[in-house]
Amino acid sequence: MKNSKEIKRARRHAHVVKKLKKGLIDVPRLIVKKSNRNIFVSLVDDMKLKVIAGCAKSKKEAEAAGIEIAEKAKKLGVEKIVFDRAGYKYHGVVKAVAEGARKGGLKF
């Protein structure tokens, strides 16, 4: 059984995804997932239900992960995205990933 912290985050994430998918299906989602040591960033195409790009870095390199995913997105011709924080609060490493993606040239 999951602990209550994971259940609450999953509930928040479901609510956020439900809001994001209204009218924004043609724009890829940038998803952030955290573990104790690492941060995983994926670019998902909701039309095809496929991951088009992704990267994994340590939490210390969260901004670098954002910049790397932005470079991969640019190569694929993606400039505009929707940021999906996966139920996490927008601070710390999640905020660093978003700022790195913005520095890389992605528009939210």
Report the CATH number at residue 34.
3.30.420.100
CA distance linking residue 23 with residue 25, whole number of Å: 6
The pair of three-digit structure tokens given for residue 71, joined into one six-digit string: 């470079």
Per-residue model confidence (pLDDT) at position 22: 58
* Half-sphere exposure in the Cβ direction for 96 (13 Å, CA): 15
DSSP E strands in 20-88: the ranges are: 29-34, 38-45, 50-58, 82-84
Q: Is residue 108 part of a domain?
A: no
The pair of three-digit structure tokens given for residue 20, joined into one six-digit string: 């994001």
pTM of the model: 0.84
pLDDT interval class at 87 (50, 70, 90): confident
Q: Is residue 77 part of a domain?
A: yes
Asked whether the predicted pLDDT for residue 1 surpasses 60, the reply is no
Q: Is residue 17 part of a domain?
A: yes
Q: Are the C-beta atoms of 71 and 65 separated by less than 8 Å?
A: no
Q: Which of 16-30, 43-57, 71-85 has the lowest mean pLDDT?
A: 16-30
Q: Domain span at residue 61?
A: 4-103
Q: How many domains does the chain have?
A: 1
The pair of three-digit structure tokens given for residue 4, joined into one six-digit string: 């209550």
Q: Which of 10-24, 32-46, 88-102 has the lowest mean pLDDT?
A: 10-24
